[in-house]
Amino acid sequence: MTQRRFFGTDGIRGKVGDEPITPELVLKLGWAAGRVLGARDGEPGKVLIGKDTRISGYLLESALESGLSAAGVDIRLLGPMPTPGIAYLTRTARARAGIVISASHNPYEDNGIKFFSAEGTKLPDAVEAEIERMMREPLRTVAPAKLGKARRYEDAAGRYIEFCKSTFPSRLTLAGLKIVVDCANGAAYYIAPHVFSELGAQVIPVANEPDGFNINFECGSTHPATLQQAVRYHGADLGLALDGDGDRVIMVDETGEILDGDALLYIIALARHRAGVLRGGVAGTHMTNLGLEQALAERSIPFARAAVGDRYVLALLAAQGWEIGGETSGHILCLDKSSTGDGIIAALQVLAAQIESGKRLSQLHKGLTIYPQRLVNVRMARRFDLRQSAPVAGAVADAERELGSRGRVLLRPSGTEPVVRVMVEGQDTAQVERLAQRLADTVKRAAEEAA
């Protein structure tokens, strides 16, 4: 396949004002996407656009709207909406595609564009490549009579709230639970508190006052200290933190201990296994902690690893015929509930497991031993091909020999940021820290010499 210029592992992302996140390119992207996904058989079709709470969302929404209209495609504007909510509404509205304006967990200066198919799933690589090919064509506006029309999608938030609630067993209630909900000042700031309170919980919302600039700032799933402090301060039963676009979640139990995506996967999978409803096994990624793999193996639950990125977890689940998978970062897929990763729905599955068990959340992740893991992000000015560096290859081989069967090493370029992620995992914390830093230093030197 031709090397893609714009699309990474999760759509297109970058700093606003720098290529590719410029008004000109985003307008062209909207037009190209409209040509590839929209108008068909003489009918204009419709495309949904939703966004998170970044100030730049207004700019990019307008540019996409103009491009789609020029391609003859009708537009439905959702306003602030979690990424999985856009996937759900795309499917139920029988739209040709859904477009998300978000940079997920990144700071407000960044933004991005990603797409959902009519089925509410990420676009295949081949379709993204076709959109890129179309972007190289001259932009030709359809005849005035065929221009796309735009209007607001009525009650988008209410529809998605009801859908989230429908994934929680009707025989159960959250009554009696005090839950802190950290909305990351992002797309779920209104929706998430309503979902949990309408199911009966006493909800304490935090980071639910977005101003366009405070998304993910010292809050949300990437800054769990805020959630830990709130759970302890309010004496809550538990807390959950979403990221800026609401597709990932981490939780904190009543003691203040953080439960990342691996721990949440363990709780969901084990509850389903005990109930006899787990279909097949569990899919993780190369970043999934070795402790989860071992804990599942002890219970004869199959486990497989995909490349990093929820689209690859989804592909693995489809190939295996399984339903449950996710990433350490908190992207959790429950395909019997939703077509994509959904932070609210994943949290509801954990809460259902807790209520069914009659236990505290701290008791549900006992039996899972998380190996010490160190992740170092090595920032660089431009892309660096790790495979061509002999010093990096030698450093990796040395680390793997030292760890033996008691750990793992993984180096990979980020698909969303100009960094190389260096991960070392093992049983001894000091050894893990030392090897990770040594590898990171080697990668940094090699990248600087290659520049």
Residues belonging to the active site: 104
Q: Which two tokens stand for residue 430?
A: 């000091």
161-173 burial, b at 16+ Cβ within 10 Å, e below that, comes to: bebbbebbeeeee
Distance between CA 142 and CA 146 in Å, rounded? 6
C-beta atoms surrounding 405 within 10 Å: 5
Residues whose CB is less than 8 angstroms from the CB of residue 390 and which lie 6 or more positions away in sequence, other chains included: none
Strand pairing category for 202-206 and 178-182: parallel
Who contacts 306 (Cβ-Cβ below 8 Å, separation ≥6)? 283, 284, 285, 286, 312, 313, 315, 316, 325
Beta strand spans in 356-413 (E): 373-379, 407-413
* Greatest Cα-to-Cα distance within the chain, rounded to the nearest angstrom: 69
List the beta bridge partners of residue 326: 332
- Extract the runs of DSSP E, i.e. beta strands, from 156-237: 178-182, 202-206
Question: How is residue 66 written in tokens?
Answer: 């103009």
CA distances to 7, 54, 216 from 15, in Å: 14, 12, 15
Give bridge partners of residue 283 from the DSSP assignment.
304, 325
258 burial (CB, 10 Å; 0-12 / 13-18 / 19+) is middle
C-alpha gyration radius of the chain: 22
